């Protein structure tokens, strides 16, 4: 069994299939990929033809205080048009409205900072700054736009981080995100410092995340990357789900087939290459809850580096836990979807959550603060770059055909 009690991050945080299976389904996906690439190139050509006199124009841009001050070169105007309308070129709010205080994480295309408003230093935000050149070079334009669109259109939920605004400069994309004052860090950081949590704390944390996932599913969004690092805690112990890099619009009852996510949290349905629906998020939540209590992954996959290496055998019920928790894990982590807990309705009614009133929960009527102890630290202090904190880390799926397949 894979043991993570040393509290090190798994070797593979984010993953997408890039193998070459010649089966009928894979061949169909390859054709879809080729179509997508042609459509993307066609769009670029149309954008260039709109203003041929600017086709090869470049402009030097002086870096703002948000970055090291240096000269950068980027093409216009298609460099800006590509990211419209999700990232407006003119916005009342922009990077000059904030003071950067510390680094929260580094992702595929840039950095996420903790920041405060110039006229209100007490209010904290997270600002994600992404490099356009990196996004385009990795063919992730549509995915970045999709992430911004999903987050901006989602109604407010108490356990999902809000996106307040997005905008772009000639070289970068910016997203202004909710960040809780006095944050105690992400769940991985808290677990690493605190150790295994009590069932009482896991019950509240699990219920809050279940409420957030149900909200996403009811709004036709599949999340696909539930894990400790993607959950931030505020000073009262309430959760905030962050990072929508792998999220996708998916209506109720529909399915998708991209192999993506974090390997150690990946369900058998995703790893097998079969189509799947919203229910795979419940498997990942089960893995997260199992780790919080036991300190180990439920299946021996801590060293896996490819989805073909994942093993879903030799599962043992956690020792020393309550019968209710043991039964919940047995059902959430059942390999066969036919025997697995696959909906919020079933989870809501499970004996482990019997003491939770979900209406009260969504009013933040419960708190895991007392159970979490006194190991909190504020990750948004002006202490330079906090390299130990990797929450808000971007996760994207790209390379080869899988990125394009997921656009259909």
CA pair distance 25, 31, nearest whole angstrom:
10
Q: Tell me whether residue 227 is annotated as binding.
A: no
Residue 225 annotated as catalytic: yes
Annotate 186-217 with b (16+ C-beta within 10 A) or e (fewer): bbbbbbbebeebebebbbbbbbbbbbbbbbbb
The alpha carbon of residue 106 and the mean position of all alpha carbons in its chain are separated, in whole angstroms, by 13
Contacts of residue 182, defined as CB under 8 A and 6 or more positions apart, other chains included, come to 234, 235, 376, 378
Strands 110-117, 120-131: parallel, antiparallel or unpaired by DSSP?
antiparallel
Token pair for 16: 């997408």
DSSP for 246-299, written as a single string? T-EE--TT--B---EE-GGG--HHHHTT--B-TTHHHHHHHHHHHHHHHSB-SS
CA dihedral (72, 83, 102, 8) positive or negative: negative
Q: Kind and range of the H or E element at 191?
A: helix 187-194
d(CA 239, CA 227): 12
Token pair recorded at residue 274: 């079969």
**Catalytic hit among 131, 186, 214, 225:** 225
Active site amino acids: 225
Annotated binding-site residues for ATP read 128
């Amino acid at each position: 069994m894979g043991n993570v009690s040393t509290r090190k991050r798994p070797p593979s945080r984010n993953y997408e299939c890039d193998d070459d299976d010649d089966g009928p389904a894979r061949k169909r996906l390859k054709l879809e990929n080729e179509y997508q690439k042609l459509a993307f190139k066609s769009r670029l050509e149309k954008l260039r033809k709109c203003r041929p006199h600017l086709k090869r124009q470049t402009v030097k841009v002086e870096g703002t205080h948000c970055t090291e001050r240096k000269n950068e070169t980027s093409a216009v105007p298609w460099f800006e048009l590509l990211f419209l309308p999700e990232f407006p070129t003119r916005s009342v709010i922009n990077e000059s409205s904030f003071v950067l205080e510390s680094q929260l994480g580094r992702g595929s295309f840039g950095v996420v900072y903790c920041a405060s408003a110039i006229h209100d230093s007490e209010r904290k935000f997270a600002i994600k700054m992404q490099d356009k050149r990196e996004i385009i070079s990795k063919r992730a334009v549509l995915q970045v736009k999709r992430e911004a669109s999903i987050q901006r259109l989602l109604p407010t939920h108490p356990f999902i981080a809000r996106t307040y605004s997005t905008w772009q400069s000639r070289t970068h994309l910016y997203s202004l995100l909710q960040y809780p004052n006095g944050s105690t860090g992400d769940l991985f950081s808290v677990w690493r410092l605190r150790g295994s949590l009590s069932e009482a704390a896991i019950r509240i944390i699990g219920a809050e995340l279940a409420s957030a996932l149900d909200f996403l599913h009811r709004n036709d969004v599949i999340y696909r990357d539930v894990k400790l690092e993607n959950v931030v805690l505020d000073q009262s112990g309430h959760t905030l789900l962050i990072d929508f890099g792998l999220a996708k619009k998916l209506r109720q009852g529909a399915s998708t087939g991209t192999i993506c996510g974090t390997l150690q949290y990946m369900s058998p349905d995703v790893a097998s290459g079969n189509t799947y629906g919203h229910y795979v998020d419940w498997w990942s939540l089960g893995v997260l809850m199992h780790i919080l209590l036991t300190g180990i992954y439920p299946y021996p996959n801590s060293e896996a580096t490819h989805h073909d290496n994942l093993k879903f055998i030799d599962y043992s019920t956690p020792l020393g836990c309550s019968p209710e928790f043991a039964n919940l894990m047995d059902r959430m982590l059942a390999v066969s979807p036919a025997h697995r807990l696959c909906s919020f309705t079933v989870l809501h009614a499970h004996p482990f959550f019997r003491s939770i009133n979900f209406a009260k929960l969504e009013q933040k009527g419960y708190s895991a603060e007392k159970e979490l102890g006194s190991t909190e630290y504020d990750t948004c202090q002006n202490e330079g770059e906090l390299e130990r904190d990797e929450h808000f880390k971007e996760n994207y799926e790209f390379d080869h055909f899988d990125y394009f397949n997921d656009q259909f």
